[in-house]
Structure 1
């Protein structure tokens, strides 16, 4: 856990969000007025939100999200979903119908595992992202979508991050989001099923809409955050997150775009 913290801090300072200088495009003087400068085109890439799937992944597909379940830690390695503006505009009320996920062949964690543990049942895919449909919101309460979060993190800066993602989708109309825990070599355990308590959480976000395609990630310690914590204190680029997690995010991107989008981000494009 100490190693992860040191690595996290080093990556935060060396690889998170220096503003990229704007490069002005020049037009060849030999170009005639009838010739058009090529512009990026809108492209639909199936399953763009999914990380690279390995033989070890137990993939669970629900109606509006996909997860990789880790039996050793009794929670997801990652939960991936496509989020659109319309999905957040509904008025479905939260009912807290937490329940085991029958799709997990090895059996998911149970509600009982979290009882009197001192940790919140932290949604990886937020219920508020699915306010457009009763079915969609209900599916976010499967225990496979839960992870033991410190209550002050879950109800504080992590909640602000979830709200910020919904604010961004109001502007961008469509985002691809991957959320999950980062485990250490030794993790505290809770409940009869020995659910692991991760020392960190992450969220990776891709905006693949034009004119400015961009990506950003956040890593937060699973503990009480400072009173004046700001989201800008936690962002990293996708490459740094891949180093921390060992997960290949957004592999469906064309190689040239993946390299560009994952190696840097412009703070101003994200409003920081």
Structure 2
């Protein structure tokens, strides 16, 4: 099952992406020795669904899962306690909300990342895990999208909004230019909706129908530091609307997948167009389910999908 839409002209440089009858292999080996014991008293319990609340199986506790929702000023995100990365981060962008609320006192980025105190320590991404790792703290909602106020900007620097990204050639270059492309869409469309997140997928499926997902895990210094998984890829799903949202004159939808690796800045953006339905299977989430995909226009038919630096 090929992720890449036939609309794309080339495959990703790191190989075609498939999820056809994929049998995931061993992802990572983590030591659970007694020396890494974690105090779980600060771990909140998950709300148990009413239809199973009286089941005997859960007399002594319901395991979850728990999804930590962060309703920040400029974005809403869902945190994955297993990988210590966001499941996704959702944004709504316009020409107006990309500008400072008060032009006289624009926010000043201090680039001071911090751990998210709302996440239980047992599952919290730690600053020390990134130290010396060679990876950037890749904001899923970038600071450039949150310049409306100082508080909005500061909220993009919590680690629950970050995932490990290759710096040179990707986070600081191609991906950053891609983020600029998304912001520039507000000059052409009245409403821009964005969902961004990490992926953990094999690069190819051999004839046997089995494949292995391989990724690194970052360990921080000190006992009880939760390891952070390094995504193999990142996706960004974009819905643009012209006119009033209740009766839009036009809309377009597109999804892009990029490998977590250095990408030549001259690589055409359309190379990374992917099929939304197949990506949803891998991500385990549904993007813009209220949109009629049979009638919505493709984003790169509605606008020129090209980075400014190309």
TM-score strictly above 0.5: yes
Question: Which residue does 1:175 correspond to in 2?
Answer: 192
Among residues 54, 74, 82, which one is paired with 2:84 in the alignment? 74
Query: Which blocks of at least 5 consecutive residues in structure 1 are unaligned?
Result: 1-6, 18-53
Question: Which residue does 1:206 correspond to in 2?
Answer: 239
Question: Which residue does 1:101 correspond to in 2?
Answer: 116
Query: Which blocks of at least 5 consecutive residues in structure 2 are unaligned?
Result: 10-63, 101-105, 202-212, 221-225, 243-247, 306-310
Q: For the structure 1 residues 86 and 177, does the alpha-carbon distance in structure 2 shift closer, same or farther, using more than 3 Å as the test?
A: same
Structure with the bigger percentage of helix: 1
Question: Which residue does 1:83 correspond to in 2?
Answer: 93
Contact 1:59–1:66 (Cα < 8 Å) also in 2: yes
Contact 1:15–1:240 (Cα < 8 Å) also in 2: no
C-alpha separation between the residues in 2 aligned to 1:78 and 1:168? 20
C-alpha separation between the residues in 1 aligned to 2:156 and 2:89? 10
The 5-angstrom pairing of residues 1-272 of structure 1 reads 10-14=2-6, 57-90=67-100, 91-105=106-120, 106-151=122-167, 152-184=169-201, 185-192=213-220, 193-209=226-242, 210-251=248-289, 253=290, 257-261=292-296, 265=298, 267-272=300-305
C-alpha separation between the residues in 2 aligned to 1:208 and 1:246? 25
Contact 2:82–2:123 (Cα < 8 Å) also in 1: no
Please say which of residues 80-89 and 233-242 is displaced more in the overlay: 233-242
String of CA shifts for 1:182-205, please: whole Å, max 9, x gaps: 014442101222100011000001
String of CA shifts for 1:45-96, please: whole Å, max 9, x gaps: xxxxxxxxx9653322223321111111111110111112112223423211
TM-score by length of 2: 0.66
Please say which of residues 133-142 and 60-69 is displaced more in the overlay: 60-69
Q: For the structure 1 residues 171 and 227, does the alpha-carbon distance in structure 2 shift closer, same or farther, using more than 3 Å as the test?
A: closer
Q: CA RMSD in A?
A: 2.2
C-alpha separation between the residues in 2 aligned to 1:250 and 1:227? 29
C-alpha separation between the residues in 2 aligned to 1:266 and 1:67? 24
What is the CA-CA distance between 1:138 and the residue it aligns to? 0.4
What is the CA-CA distance between 1:123 and the residue it aligns to? 0.7
Please say which of residues 128-137 and 96-105 is displaced more in the overlay: 96-105
Contact 2:174–2:265 (Cα < 8 Å) also in 1: no
TM-score by length of 1: 0.75
Contact 1:88–1:131 (Cα < 8 Å) also in 2: yes
SS of residue paired to 1:224 = coil
Question: Which residue does 2:56 correspond to in 1?
Answer: none
